[in-house]
Amino acid sequence: MKITLHVWRQKNGNSSGRMARYELPGVSEDMSFLEMLDVLNEGLIEKGEDPVAFEHDCREGICGSCGFMINGVAHGPMPATTVCQLHMRHFKDGDELYLEPWRAKAFPVVKDLMVDRGSLDRIISSGGFISVNTGSPQDANVILVPKQDSDLAMDAAACIGCGACVAACPNASASLFTGAKISHLGLLPQGQPERDRRALNMVRTMNLEEFGSCTNIGECEAVCPKRIPIEMIARMHRDYIKAAWTDRPASTGGGVG
Amino acid sequence: MKLDSNCPSGPIETRWERTKFDMKLVNPANKRKYNVIVVGAGLAGASGAASMAELGYNVQCFCHQDSPRRAHSIAAQGGINAAKNYQNDGDSIYRLFYDTVKGGDFRARESNVYRLAQLSVNIIDQCAAQGVPFAREYSGLLANRSFGGAQVSRTFYARGQTGQQLLLGAYQSLERQIGAGRVTMHPRKEMLDLIVIDGRARGIVTRDMVTGKIESHLADAVVLGTGGYGNVFYLSTNAKNSSCTAAWRAHRRGAAFANPCFTQIHPTCIPVSGEYQSKLTLMSESLRNDGRIWVPLHKGDKRPPNQIPEAERDYYLERRYPAFGNLVPRDVASRAAKMACDEGRGVGETGLGVYLDFEAAIQRLGAPAIAERYGNLIEMYNRITGEDPYKEPMRIYPAIHYTMGGLWVDYHLMSTIPGMFCVGEANFSDHGANRLGASALMQGLADGYFVIPFTMGNYLANTKLEKVDGTHAAAREAVERTTSMTKRFLGIQGKRTVDSFHRELGKIVWDHCGMARNDKGLRSALAKIPALREEFWSNVKVLGDNEEVNQSLEKAGRVADYFELAELMCQDALDRKESCGGHFREEWQTPEGEAMRDDEGFAHAAAWEYQGEGKTSIRHTEPLQFEYVHPSQRSYK
């Protein structure tokens, strides 16, 4: 089948971009979307033109590297599917597709369809962990975790950090990403000691990184390739409000001895 | 080159304990004066970087991805083994050790494997404490399943995303140390050379993948956790950007490369569909717990699977290996599939596929139970092929998946270059000639969390190091060498793309050094590879500049290394005149077609010393002694 692509081309973060049009005859329906871009790039290189830069790695929908907008939808038209797992059989002969990078102030464009998502790592490093040093834990079965809590924590932990939720949100909010981590750790007994501090610190970092606020629009849940439910944002808000009310300055005498 | 494994002697149960006690320690106040470079942020790299930072070392961690959370460990599906014996089914540290040595077809070091089995227990404790959401029973206790050739249930899992959850646990520990300022993270920087000063590894050269800046980083020691080299085959289950480059450049600087021909073919991958195919997708082998593998009994039977009556199906694994059935180890299952296809009984359009059928399991357990166990895998299969495994059997075919070979390391995980350590899949140490399912995650984390933090301290405490910086002649020379290689790629301006060379090379390696190898094929590969390499260096087309994001330039460097590695793999396979594990030489097989080892001639690791571009490497050997598990022919009948 024949596909026409309009792709955002931008040399680097300091230059301005534009849409470029490419025609691809002979696209096979068994190809993945990224394999179609591989074919486009091979052709461009042969013609001596700069290939389209896009991020990808595992191509199994789990590393979270890939992702861009296809006709205004993050990761394209298939629900719960990253762009690397999207196959051309879901498109029609003659389709015209517009590919653009994630658009958010916190995700500056690096080149073409690649953006810098380092802001998501900084949210995690401000509190998205359980402070356990290597070697200190007791036997894993000493702390029981109810199966339903563990399963729900796993639903939240399935986040791949691709950033589609931010790109889809009209406010460019990272609430679903942050809420997923706060929920994952907050649902487990091991995560309780730091629960308040975690919520306060991660939400603070999210704001400092200039992500927008959540206004419950729900686009994030609709495009999430791992079907993270918007309930995780509600959990984050509950933890944050509770922590904000009860937070006290740390006792300076603690631990000294 | 001297290969001293530094393995302790005495009772195997206390070897690691005694080694730890004998090691010198670094005073807590002095640890922050040491700088350690960790390259790679997968399970082994991230867990090692985080653990060493917790101890107080200054750590610089490098990865080529935009974030350490994306390393390819994330794609491991099935699980992680640990000898917890929570199921009371007779498991023990000794049994895990025994299974691993036997599964590796007696080509791994007993001391290393025993330590691995011991540490497996600590890994689960560590990860549960980090909040890894392992599967649980209604009681709240951890759940287990049996996996890939094991007769006990010792595999812990988090749905079909165990690798993801373990990696995120390590990543979160790493991020915690980054936030605390004890780890400096360098994402999007690819290691392109190792800096060796006075015979010791003292730093690396990296290229910034956004700005193109090539620079040196100096330290007191270097740890490589850069994964395996499966992408030498072009089509593999590895991530597209996984490569051998860091390990290979270290090899060029003097680190011996061991057993490169030990590569693992995974039996359950989605078959190839066309020329444009960019990678192969693995279906977790846990599917073999409930799926039955078969091909039509008769050659050329083109009927749809549902119309082939039971009597005309050949459940060849159950027939040939009644004791293990569909759960035989990976190498055995893969070869059996190849054999069925070679006989003309393969299925699908290409004839390169076999059926994996859930019909019996769905009848026995019901579709919802199957969906709960394998839902995400079945969904993935459906997405890629457009077929529904609840209605018709899946088609699967073996694909390259893991590489047991890698940089040679001693018991302390140190390579033949003092000060350069190697952890995880990048080293050769624990799996011998074949890795058992759910053991890769175990090894990566054992190396990173529990071995390297100790052995690093011992090295630093015993070594007096001069202060060096980027102005040192060796550092400047390494930067220049890397810069000129980059310029060389950009200056060729030939006609063929990097990928077209990679695809052609991969096909040569797959055809001649894949699931089955023979003298004639290996020799022909050894003639074809240098010719193609020569063409590469005169006709490859890399556009653009160094000072920008240039994905073709990144690939060109990696493919250049694959050429050299491919040659070494074939040479290693040619010289290993026996069959063992993943290395199957057609000349050495039993009348039933099983692998035939030669323990007299080849009970050793072969470690290759680099001699320069286009020159034949020197083969050294490290003899392997088996004091506990006595070599026998593996039998899964």
Distance from chain centroid for Cα A187: 21
Q: Classify strands B58-62 and B183-186 as parallel, antiparallel or unpaired.
A: parallel
Which residue reads 């009984």 in tokens? B345
For residue A256, being part of any structural domain is answered with no
pLDDT at A254 over 80: no
CB-count exposure of residue A110 (10 Å: 0-12, 13-18, 19+)? buried
DSSP secondary structure string for all residues of B86-147? TT-SS--HHHHHHHHHHHTTT-S-HHHHHHHHHHHHHHHHHHHHHT----B-TTSSBP-B--
Q: Are residues A105 and A124 in the same domain?
A: no
The reported pLDDT for the residue numbered A256 is 58
Planar angle of CA A75, A81, A82, nearest 5 degrees: 50
**CA quadruple A142, A148, A149, A153: dihedral sign:** positive
Do residue A128 and residue B380 have CB atoms under 8 angstroms apart? Answer: no
CATH code at position A160: 1.10.1060.10
CA pair distance B215, B209, nearest whole angstrom: 12
The reported pLDDT for the residue numbered B160 is 83
CA pair distance B598, B578, nearest whole angstrom: 6
The reported pLDDT for the residue numbered B285 is 82
Do residue B175 and residue A121 have CB atoms under 8 angstroms apart? Answer: yes
Do residue B240 and residue A140 have CB atoms under 8 angstroms apart? Answer: no
For residue A26, being part of any structural domain is answered with yes
Instruction: Give the mean pLDDT of A99-104.
Output: 98
Q: How far is CA A28 from CA A37, A220, B275, B277, B448, in A?
A: 12, 31, 10, 11, 43
Do residue A121 and residue B139 have CB atoms under 8 angstroms apart? Answer: no
CATH code at position A20: 3.10.20.30
Q: Which of A87, A110, A133 is the last residue in one of the domains?
A: A110
Is B114 in contact with B184 (CB distance < 8 Å)? Answer: no
Q: How far is CA B285 from CA B288, B291, B397, B500, in A?
A: 5, 10, 12, 31
CA neighbor of B184 nearest in space, from B17, B58, B5: B58
Q: Are residues A192 and A130 in the same domain?
A: yes
Model confidence pLDDT, tens digit, residues A123-167: 999 999 999 999 989 999 999 999 999 999 999 999 999 999 999
Is B228 in contact with B265 (CB distance < 8 Å)? Answer: no
Q: What percent of chain B has pLDDT over 90?
A: 89
Instruction: Give the mean pLDDT of A228-255.
Output: 90
Radius of gyration of chain B from Cα atoms? 24
Interface probe for B, chosen from A28, A57, A117 (most Cβ of B below 10 Å), is A57
| B401 Cα to chain A: minimum distance (Å) | 13
Q: Which of A110, A143, A163 is the last residue in one of the domains?
A: A110
The hierarchical CATH code for the domain B266-399 is 3.90.700.10
Do residue A59 and residue B281 have CB atoms under 8 angstroms apart? Answer: yes
Is B64 in contact with B39 (CB distance < 8 Å)? Answer: no
How many CB atoms lie under 10 A from the CB of residue B511?
13
Q: Are residues A96 and A155 in the same domain?
A: no
B567, two tokens: 């040659």
Q: Bridge partners of B125?
A: none
Is B225 in contact with B42 (CB distance < 8 Å)? Answer: yes
**ipTM score assigned to the predicted complex:** 0.97
DSSP secondary structure string for all residues of B143-181? P-B--TT-SS--EE-STT-HHHHHHHHHHHHHHHHHHTT
DSSP annotation of A86 = -
CA neighbor of A123 nearest in space, from B172, B389, B503: B172
Is A86 in contact with B32 (CB distance < 8 Å)? Answer: no
**Which one of 1.10.3720.10, 1.20.58.100, 2.40.50.220, 1.10.1060.10 gives the CATH number of domain B473-614?**
1.20.58.100
Residues of B in contact with A43 (CB under 8 A): none
Helix (H, G, I), strand (E, B) or coil at A178: helix
Do residue A154 and residue B158 have CB atoms under 8 angstroms apart? Answer: yes
Q: Which amino acid is at A28?
A: S
The reported pLDDT for the residue numbered A157 is 98
The reported pLDDT for the residue numbered B390 is 94
Q: Are residues A142 and A40 in the same domain?
A: no
Instruction: Give the mean pLDDT of A18-36.
Output: 96
The reported pLDDT for the residue numbered B375 is 84
Q: Are residues A101 and A194 in the same domain?
A: no
Q: Are residues A132 and A203 in the same domain?
A: yes
Q: Bridge partners of B357?
A: B292
Task: Nearest by CB to B131, from A57, A116, A184: name it.
Answer: A184
Q: Count of domains in chain A? A: 2
Regions of chain B with pLDDT less than 70: 148-149
CA pair distance B482, B215, nearest whole angstrom: 9
- Helix (H) or strand (E) segment spanning residue B249: helix B245-252
CB-count exposure of residue A143 (10 Å: 0-12, 13-18, 19+)? middle
Task: Nearest by CB to B543, from A48, A59, A110: name it.
Answer: A48
Q: Are residues A99 and A204 in the same domain?
A: no
Do residue A144 and residue B281 have CB atoms under 8 angstroms apart? Answer: no
Q: Which amino acid is at A244?
A: A
Do residue A65 and residue B383 have CB atoms under 8 angstroms apart? Answer: no
CB neighbour burial string for B319-338, b if at least 16 within 10 angstroms, e if fewer: ebbeebbbbbbbbbbbbbbb
Q: Bridge partners of B215?
A: B206
The reported pLDDT for the residue numbered A255 is 64
**CA quadruple B575, B580, B585, B586: dihedral sign:** positive
Task: Nearest by CB to B126, from A45, A59, A137: name it.
Answer: A137
Do residue B129 and residue A188 have CB atoms under 8 angstroms apart? Answer: no
CA pair distance A214, B318, nearest whole angstrom: 55
**CA quadruple B71, B74, B79, B80: dihedral sign:** positive
Q: Which amino acid is at B527?
A: A
The pTM of the full predicted model, rounded to 2 decimals, is 0.97
CA pair distance A184, A229, nearest whole angstrom: 12
The reported pLDDT for the residue numbered B146 is 84
Q: How far is CA B347 from CA B275, B302, B344, B363, B400, in A?
A: 19, 8, 9, 24, 20
Q: Which of A89, A110, A131 is the last residue in one of the domains?
A: A110
Do residue A136 and residue B279 have CB atoms under 8 angstroms apart? Answer: no
Helix (H, G, I), strand (E, B) or coil at B272: coil
Contacting A residues, span 55-84, partner chain B, CB-CB under 8 Å: 55-65, 78, 81
CB pairs under 8 A between A and B: 216
Is B479 in contact with B216 (CB distance < 8 Å)? Answer: yes
DSSP secondary structure string for all residues of B404-419? --EE---TTSB-SSTT
CB proximity list for B555: less than 8 A, separation 6 or greater: B498, B499, B502
Annotated domain spans of chain B: 266-399, 473-614
The reported pLDDT for the residue numbered A251 is 77
CA pair distance B527, B530, nearest whole angstrom: 6
CA pair distance B121, B125, nearest whole angstrom: 7
CA pair distance B608, B602, nearest whole angstrom: 15
Residues of A in contact with B124 (CB under 8 A): 140
The reported pLDDT for the residue numbered B637 is 74
CA atoms within 13 A on the CB side of A78: 23
The reported pLDDT for the residue numbered B149 is 66
CA pair distance B452, B613, nearest whole angstrom: 32
CB neighbour burial string for B570-595, b if at least 16 within 10 angstroms, e if fewer: bbbbbebebbbbbbbbeebeeeeebb
| Alpha helices (H) in B321-412, listed in sequence order | 330-342, 359-365, 367-385
Contacting A residues, span 184-243, partner chain B, CB-CB under 8 Å: 184-185, 188, 190-191
Residues of B in contact with A35 (CB under 8 A): 276-278
CA neighbor of B223 nearest in space, from B70, B66, B56, B52: B52
Model confidence pLDDT, tens digit, residues B593-620: 888 999 999 999 999 999 998 899 999 9
pLDDT at A257 over 80: no
CA neighbor of A93 nearest in space, from A154, A36, A26: A26
Task: Nearest by CB to A128, from B172, B210, B497: name it.
Answer: B172
The reported pLDDT for the residue numbered B137 is 97
Full domain range(s) for residue A82: 3-110
CB proximity list for B617: less than 8 A, separation 6 or greater: B568, B571, B608, B609, B610, B611
Task: Nearest by CB to A53, from B70, B541, B551: name it.
Answer: B551
Task: Nearest by CB to A157, from B133, B175, B500: name it.
Answer: B133
CA neighbor of A101 nearest in space, from A72, A134, A64: A72
